[in-house]
Amino acid sequence: MWFVPRELVFSLSILVLLLSTPCSSSFVKTEAKIKSAVFLSPKFELGPGSVSNRYYYDIDFPRGHVALKSFDAEVVDEAGNPIPLHETYLHHWAVAKYHQRKLVTLTENDSHRMLQNSDHVLLRNSGICQGTVIPQYFGLGSETRGTATDIPDPFGIEIGNPAEVPEGFEEKWLVNVHAIDTRGAEDKLGCTECKCELYNVTVDAHGKSIRPDYKGGLSCCYDSTQCKLKEGFEGPKRSLYLKYTVKWVDWDDFIVPVKIYIIDVTDNMKLSDNSEEVNSDHDCKVEYQVESCSTDHKEGNGCVHVKRTSVRQQTGGYVIYGVAHQHSGGIGSTLYGQDGRVICSSTPSYGNGNEAGNEAGYIVGMSTCYPKPGSVKIINGETLTLESFYNNTKEHTGVMGLFYLLVAEQLPYQHFRHSTRSSFFVE
């Protein structure tokens, strides 16, 4: 039998009033509650032309049941000085969550593949690529200093929920940092694009032969490889860190959780009417090659390479945030709904100076989308189309065309009504 105790009559009166009030005034802003901390990754050393691509486990991270509100990062030296991209290129950083059995440890030298065993379980985002491909919660590259990552109120990424951690395990976080030192490089852009001819490698990080038609990408610039330097150039090794700033709030019933989706323009998903499993038919390659356009196109300024894919979003919701990730040469990316509407368009900004955050010729920021909550909705099972545009006056190797989305399955007033019902009514 359902009943309402006398003590709750006044509370329920307030609840009715709140539910009849527009959602924009139904929530207290969380700015005063936001906590912030600055952390450093373990140290990595780079000399001219060298590469570091490592996974660091059990990194410093907010603990407890909280909602993440932003994550920003950059490369700094031992004194905390920001390092410009033309000295150390930040190819990418990515932060992921995993469960680790208690009393078991991972070391810096362990392969990230070890996470797929009974003691360590990688917890990927909500999709949509297959398996462990692009599993991160956060991740950017050279654009990291100039790209907004704030999540608006009352939304947040829920972490640390004890109900979601299996008995005998702990929730932990790792970071992958891929940095390339280009001081004295014969071809700085070529080094950052991981052109195989500049790295003089014939096998990848796992000892597998690199196919002859593979001109450049992650397979050629793995950890401890060396890019070609100008003859006679010498320079000192430097100790560097990924400095990352995290903001969060303590979790409560009024925070609306968002899911993280990352769409890859290289995804060769086979669309079928009867496919119900989210990741079953996806084949994300992560990177691709942009061939140089013909001389005729160069003279007519028509050198734009377009790569396109269509994928099915099994679970929809309301788009809260969107941003693309591209490499040098990128000129923007757009995600469309199946009716042709623009869900989000994200474009890069290039630096024009020498200082960190404004390096000439490098992407130093990506524009973001913050649609009014409720204004952009993806329906369950909707087919989305992603387009990634690159200027191909020159050839580009190992480029990426990723699109990050934060999606809420409920709007604030819907979530509030659900939460208060479970909180106020007792049996």
How far apart are alpha carbons 388 and 330 in whole angstroms? 8
Percent of the chain with pLDDT over 90: 76
Q: Which two tokens stand for residue 115?
A: 């996470």
Which whole number is the average pLDDT over 10-36? 50
**What range defines the domain where residue 210 resides?**
31-271+280-415
Residues 6+ apart with CB under 8 A from 284: 129, 130, 133, 134, 264, 266, 267
Torsion 209-135-44-398 (CA) sign:
positive
Which whole number is the average pLDDT over 16-27? 40
Tens of pLDDT, residues 59-116: 999 999 999 999 999 999 999 999 999 999 999 999 999 999 998 876 655 555 555 6
Decide if 177 is inside a domain: yes
Angle between helices 412-424 and 9-19 (to 10 degrees): 170
Bridging pattern class, strands 88-101 and 155-159: unpaired
Backbone dihedral angles phi then psi of residue 199, each to the nearest 5 degrees: -100, -10
Global pTM?
0.86
Give the model's pLDDT for residue 219.
Answer: 96
Give the model's pLDDT for residue 4.
Answer: 38
Which whole number is the average pLDDT over 41-63? 96
Decide if 22 is inside a domain: no
The position carrying tokens 């189309």 is: 385
Q: Which two tokens stand for residue 240?
A: 């560097």
- DSSP character for 226? B
Please name which of 43, 28, 12, 91 lies closest in space to residue 287, comparing C-alpha atoms: 91
Decide if 6 is inside a domain: no
Q: What share of the chain is helix, strand, coil (3-state, %, to 5)?
A: 15, 40, 45
Strand ranges for 293-380 from DSSP E: 304-313, 317-326, 330-336, 342-346, 348-350, 363-366, 368-369, 377-378
Give the model's pLDDT for residue 366.
Answer: 98
pLDDT tier, 297 (very low <50, low <70, confident <90, very high otherwise): low
How far apart are alpha carbons 305 and 259 in whole angstroms? 31
Which whole number is the average pLDDT over 405-418? 80
Q: Which two tokens stand for residue 413?
A: 């007033």
Decide if 3 is inside a domain: no
Query: Which residues are paired to 121 by β-bridges?
Result: 99
Residue that wins the pLDDT comparison between 295 and 287:
287
Residues 6+ apart with CB under 8 A from 371: 319, 320, 322, 344
- CA-based angle 249:253:256, to the nearest 5? 70
- DSSP character for 284? -
Helix (H) or strand (E) holding 11: helix 9-19
Decide if 368 is inside a domain: yes
Decide if 225 is inside a domain: yes
Lowest mean pLDDT of 8-22, 208-222, 377-391, name the range: 8-22
Give the model's pLDDT for residue 413.
Answer: 72
Tens of pLDDT, residues 389-409: 999 999 999 999 999 999 999
Q: Contact 185/195 with Cβ under 8 angstroms?
A: no
**CA 186: distance to chain centroid?**
31
Decide if 68 is inside a domain: yes
C-alpha distances in Å from residue 209, one per residue of 97, 133, 286, 356: 31, 21, 19, 37
Examine the pLDDT at 427 and tell me if it is beyond 50.
no
**CA 207: distance to chain centroid?**
28
Query: How large is the C-alpha radius of gyration of the chain?
Result: 23
Count of structural domains within the chain: 1
Bridging pattern class, strands 44-46 and 238-250: antiparallel
How far apart are alpha carbons 15 and 25 in whole angstroms? 13
Give the model's pLDDT for residue 118.
Answer: 79
Decide if 148 is inside a domain: yes
